[in-house]
């Protein structure tokens, strides 16, 4: 059997969770279609189709002449390849391709990821579009319980929603032995990795590390990523004299990102709801990857982060005997984040234990082999209805 995957862009970067999904099917042959394609040298070699022309902004694709041309092209591909199911990635692009559900009578699966969940609160046109999508599409996939509740609040029938955990190829993420760099680190390293956007909590990360520096001076801080908040990030670092211990590495290729992540003693990612209402929707994949590398997590209770970690809410206090992989604070709790960082720096053996528990947890819940098996089971369920 075949599954046709559709989105605006595929292969944004090799190694990412969506890349892992497209490249690790077991019993379904993937047909990959998108308006733009990147990193093709790392992708499956066959059944990849670029639709239409490159446009200056993705939203222009929704204008009738462009949309009609793209849908006609996609319909020809469907007639040629004969998929058993269509899988649209992101609610926005599921709306784009929705007319083909009725025309082809092929079941439509939709995965929501994050920004697409919060769109209706920011642009009312998506309320109407999603209402139609919820009626006509067959199955909606979300990362966790928080995102499921968010989708229900938008009007999606609960019986159409299923949780599909993010799959990680752990063969590419072996933990580095502690004897190599963590057992006796010269200087502990705190690392943040993510897009420099409000919802990622980049400014809260800076504030908590700046507060930590008032008591601890023997550590470094590494920032991996880029984005619209880069000027504010640089300004904060400069004003608070953080330059001497802070490194800005910019956006990195996946392999280089993993190489830098391995150097972390603590992974800091304090996500929160952005001023415009945008959320993670689910949870950052980087937190799963950091746990796979046996790195303890300092984060927040935002969205589905508690559901991808063995977490301890720090308002309940610190306990050296409890089993957890992450210390979570409430959103924007700078002092709480700082206290979590202090605790891990003061208790390196506890940090090491947390890292090992984190790897055990994600190996059990997020291996790509398991998640792809469950995804293909869901395909079969809607095909056989």
Q: In a 3-state reduction of DSSP, which class is residue 128?
A: helix
User: Rounded to whole angstroms, how far apart are CA atoms 74 and 363?
Assistant: 37
Q: What is the pLDDT of residues 254-263, one digit of tens each?
A: 889 999 999 9
Give pLDDT tens digits for 61-75: 889 899 999 999 999
C-alpha 166/C-alpha 18 separation (Å) is 9
Give the pLDDT of residue 47.
Answer: 87
Whether the full predicted model's pTM is greater than 0.85, yes or no, is: yes
Average pLDDT, the chain: 92
Confidence of residue 31 (pLDDT cuts 50, 70, 90): very high
With a cut of 70, say whether residue 125 has pLDDT above it.
Answer: yes
Provide the pLDDT for residue 34: 93
Q: What is the predicted pLDDT for the residue at 179?
A: 43
What pLDDT is attached to residue 39?
64
Highest mean pLDDT among 52-56, 158-162, 277-281: 158-162
Predicted confidence at residue 181, as pLDDT, reads 47
With 0-12 / 13-18 / 19 or more C-beta atoms within 10 angstroms meaning exposed / middle / buried, residue 158 is exposed
Q: Which helix (H) or strand (E) holds 345?
A: helix 334-346
Q: At 321, list the tokens.
A: 């005997």
Q: What is the CATH T-level fold of the domain 2-167+367-383, as seen in this structure?
A: Rossmann fold (3.40.50)
Q: 290-316: per-residue pLDDT in tens?
A: 999 999 999 999 999 999 999 887 766
Q: Please report the pLDDT score of residue 186 as a whole number.
A: 72
Q: Mean per-residue pLDDT for 310-329?
A: 81
Residue pLDDT, tens place only, 184-194 = 457 999 999 99
Its CATH architecture, for the domain 170-365, is 3-Layer(aba) Sandwich (3.40)
Per-residue pLDDT, averaged over 115-138, amounts to: 92
User: Cα dist. 255→16, 119, 281 in Å?
Assistant: 10, 32, 26
Query: Domain residue spans in the chain?
Result: 2-167+367-383, 170-365
The CA–CA distances, whole Å, from 244 to 84, 117, 182, 366 equal: 57, 39, 22, 37
> Are 299 and 271 within 8 A, CB to CB?
yes
The domains spanning 2-167+367-383 and 170-365 adopt the same CATH topology: yes
Percentage of the residues of the chain whose pLDDT score is greater than 90: 78
Does 177 have pLDDT greater than 90?
no
> Comparing C-alpha atoms, which of 154, 137, 18, 21 is closest to residue 86?
137
Q: What is the DSSP string of 315-328?
A: GG---TTS--SEEE
Q: Give the strand pairing for 246-250 and 220-224.
A: parallel
Per-residue pLDDT band at 321 (split at 50, 70, 90):
low
CA–CA separation, 322 and 353 (whole Å): 10
Which range scores top for mean pLDDT: 108-122, 165-179, 185-199, 211-225?
211-225
* Half-sphere CA count of 312, side-chain side, radius 13 A: 26
Span 339-360, mean pLDDT? 95
> Which of 114-118, 359-363, 364-368 has the weakest average pLDDT?
114-118
Q: Render pLDDT for 47-100 as a digit per residue (tens, 0 to 9).
A: 899 987 777 788 888 898 999 999 999 999 999 999 999 999 999 999 999 999
CA-CA distance, 178 to 326, in Å (whole number)? 19
Q: How far apart are CA 179 and CA 52, in angstroms?
A: 52
């Amino acid at each position: 059997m075949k599954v046709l995957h559709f989105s605006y862009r595929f292969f944004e970067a090799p190694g990412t969770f969506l890349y892992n999904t497209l490249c690790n099917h077991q019993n379904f042959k993937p047909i990959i279609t998108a308006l733009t394609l990147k990193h093709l040298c790392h992708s499956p070699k066959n059944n990849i189709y670029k639709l239409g022309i490159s446009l200056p902004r993705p939203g222009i694709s929704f204008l009738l002449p462009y949309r009609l041309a793209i849908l006609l092209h996609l319909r020809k591909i469907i007639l040629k390849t004969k998929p058993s199911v269509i899988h649209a990635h992101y609610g926005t692009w599921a709306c784009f391709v929705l007319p083909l559900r009725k025309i082809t009578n092929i079941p439509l699966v939709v995965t929501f990821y994050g920004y697409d969940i919060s769109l209706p609160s920011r642009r009312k046109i998506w309320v109407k579009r999603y209402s139609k999508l919820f009626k006509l599409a067959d199955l909606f996939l979300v990362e966790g319980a928080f995102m499921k509740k968010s989708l229900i609040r938008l009007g999606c029938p609960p019986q159409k929603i299923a949780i599909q955990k993010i799959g990680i190829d752990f063969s590419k993420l072996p933990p580095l032995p502690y004897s190599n760099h963590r057992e006796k680190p010269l200087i502990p390293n705190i690392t943040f990795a993510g897009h420099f956007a409000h919802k990622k909590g980049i400014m809260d990360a800076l504030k908590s590390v700046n507060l930590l520096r008032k008591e601890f001076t023997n550590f470094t801080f590494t920032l991996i990523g880029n984005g619209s908040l880069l000027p504010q990030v640089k300004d904060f670092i400069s004003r608070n004299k953080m330059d001497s211990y802070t490194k800005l590495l910019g956006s990195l290729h996946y392999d280089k990102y993993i190489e830098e992540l391995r150097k972390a003693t603590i992974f800091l990612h304090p996500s929160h709801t952005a001023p415009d209402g945008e959320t993670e929707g689910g949870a950052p994949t980087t937190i799963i990857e950091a746990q796979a590398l046996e790195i303890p997590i300092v984060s927040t209770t935002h969205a589905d982060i508690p559901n991808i970690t063995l977490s301890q809410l720090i308002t309940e206090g610190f306990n050296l005997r409890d089993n957890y992989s992450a210390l979570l604070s409430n959103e924007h709790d700078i002092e709480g984040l700082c206290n979590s960082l202090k605790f891990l720096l003061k208790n390196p053996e506890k940090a090491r234990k947390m890292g090992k528990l984190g790897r055990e947890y994600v190996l059990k819940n997020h291996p790509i082999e398991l998640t792809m098996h469950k995804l293909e089971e869901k395909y079969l369920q809607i095909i056989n209805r």
